[in-house]
Chain A
Amino acid sequence: MEDSLEIAGEKVNNRLFIGTGKFASYSIMKRALEEAKAEVATVALRRVDADSKAENILNYLPKSCRVMINTSGARDADEAVRIGRLAKAAGAGNWIKIEVIRDNKYLLPDNLETLKAVEILVKEDFVVFPYMSPDLSIGRRMAEAGASAIMPLGSPIGSNRGVKTRELIEIMINEINLPIIVDAGLGKPSEACECMEIGSAAVLVNTAIAVSDDPVRMAVSFSKAVCAGRLAYLSGIPAAGKIASASSPLTGFLRDKK
C-alpha cells in the first residue's frame, strides 16, 4: 500500500525525519540515516572554526535523503531569513525548518517571529516548515502565510519527555489542513508511535537517536515505531471504554441453565 506524504509536490515515504546534531561522528550519523531509510534530515549553519575545516556534513547524507535547513541559532525573524538565504546560496535546497528561539532555558520557540519569517521566506520560494509551540490560531496564520507543514513541539528540545502537548497537537491535526509534524522532545519510539497514532503526518527526532548507546539501531527502532503508528492510524483505532467488553462470545457456556 502506498502511503507517501506529499509536500510541495514531492513524495516522502519515510515519515521519520531525523536531525543530525549530537551524533558522535558523521559516519555513525550516516549509518543511522541509511539503516532507518531516512528521506529527510535537518542540518544547521554555523560560523566556521578550527573544527569545521574537516568535512562537509552534506557529503555524509545518503543520496536518498533530502536536506532540511534548520535556522537554529536565530533569535528573530531577520536572523532566520538570513540563515535561510545563506543555506540556499550554499546549495542546500529550499526546504527550511524555521526555528526562532529567544529562551535559553526551555528553548521554546517565538511563534510570532517564526510567523514573520514564514511570510518572508514563502515569498522567496522556500518550502517552509515552522517549528512552533502548539497553538491553533498561530498555526492557522502559518497555514495562511503559505507554510507547507507545521511542526509543533511535543516537549522542550532534547528533553526526551514525550508528547506533553498532545491535546493541543490533536486540535491542530483536526483543524489545520496541512501536515502536522511533531518535532522535539520525543524520547523513545513509543512516543513517536503515539504521535503517528493520533494522526501526525510525520515526526522529527534527533537527540533520542543520536545520544543513545546504539544510534543506528535506535534510528531503525524509531522508524519501525513510526510505521506502526501510521498503520494503526490508517486502520481506525477503536474508541476506549470505561468498562469491559468481552472478546469471546457470551453464549454457549459449559454450565447448566438456572
Chain B
Amino acid sequence: MIIKINGKSEAVKMHSNIAELISGKSLCPDNLVLELNYRIVPRQDWQNVVLKENDTIEIISFVGGG
C-alpha cells in the first residue's frame, strides 16, 4: 500500500505498524517525533498503531538552528 512519508509517496507492507516502519528505515526512535495524519503519536503507542492506505506521516528530529 502507498502512504505519504515526509511529503513523498512510499510503498509499505500492509498491516505494518509505526514501530516497524521506523526500524525498517534504520532510524533511532529516541531521536524522533512522529505525526500521523497531523496528530502526534507518542512513542509508546508506535507498536499499536497500524498504518492504512493513504496515511500521511511526518517523521521529525532536532537539528541545529538559531
Residue numbers of A with Cβ under 8 A of B are 19-23, 26, 29, 42-49, 52-53, 55-58, 70, 72, 82, 85-87, 89-90, 92, 157-158, 183-184, 204, 206-207
B33/A43 in contact, CB under 8 A: no
A47/B64 in contact, CB under 8 A: no
B1 adjacent to chain A (CB < 8 Å): no
B61/A46 in contact, CB under 8 A: yes
B33/A90 in contact, CB under 8 A: yes
B66/A206 in contact, CB under 8 A: yes
B64/A23 in contact, CB under 8 A: yes
In the complex, what distance in Å separates the CA atom of A90 from the CA atom of B59? 11
In the complex, what distance in Å separates the CA atom of A46 from the CA atom of B58? 10
**Interface flags, B25-45, vs A, CB<8A=1, else 0:** 011101111010010101000
Residues of chain B lying within 8 A (CB to CB) of residue A46: 60-61, 63
A70-B28 contact in complex given A45-B60, A86-B60, A89-B42, C-beta closer than 8 Å:
no
**In the complex, what's the smallest C-beta–C-beta distance from B41 to chain A, in angstroms?**
9
Residues of chain B lying within 8 A (CB to CB) of residue A157: 66
**In the complex, what's the smallest C-beta–C-beta distance from A202 to chain B, in angstroms?**
14
Residues of chain A lying within 8 A (CB to CB) of residue B30: 56
B62/A45 in contact, CB under 8 A: yes
**In the complex, what's the smallest C-beta–C-beta distance from B30 to chain A, in angstroms?**
6
A53-B65 contact in complex given A89-B42, A90-B33, C-beta closer than 8 Å:
no
**In the complex, what's the smallest C-beta–C-beta distance from B39 to chain A, in angstroms?**
10
- CB-nearest residue of chain A to B7: A47
Most buried by A among B7, B30, B32, B66: B66
Residues of chain B lying within 8 A (CB to CB) of residue A42: 65-66
Residues of chain B lying within 8 A (CB to CB) of residue A43: 62-65
A20-B6 contact in complex given A53-B28, A87-B33, C-beta closer than 8 Å:
no
In the complex, what distance in Å separates the CA atom of A21 from the CA atom of B64? 4
B66/A70 in contact, CB under 8 A: yes
B59/A72 in contact, CB under 8 A: no
In the complex, what distance in Å separates the CA atom of A58 from the CA atom of B30? 11
Residues of chain B lying within 8 A (CB to CB) of residue A48: 6, 27, 32, 59-61
Residues of chain B lying within 8 A (CB to CB) of residue A184: 66
A72/B35 in contact, CB under 8 A: no
A56/B61 in contact, CB under 8 A: yes
A57/B63 in contact, CB under 8 A: yes
**In the complex, what's the smallest C-beta–C-beta distance from A82 to chain B, in angstroms?**
8
**In the complex, what's the smallest C-beta–C-beta distance from A230 to chain B, in angstroms?**
21
Residues of chain A lying within 8 A (CB to CB) of residue B26: 53
**Interface flags, B46-66, vs A, CB<8A=1, else 0:** 000000000000111111111
In the complex, what distance in Å separates the CA atom of A16 from the CA atom of B62? 21
B61/A21 in contact, CB under 8 A: no
A-B contact pairs, 28 of them (CB 8 A): A20-B66, A23-B64, A42-B65, A43-B65, A45-B33, A45-B63, A46-B61, A47-B60, A48-B6, A48-B27, A48-B32, A48-B60, A52-B61, A57-B62, A57-B64, A70-B65, A70-B66, A82-B38, A85-B40, A86-B33, A86-B35, A86-B60, A89-B33, A89-B42, A90-B32, A90-B62, A157-B66, A207-B66
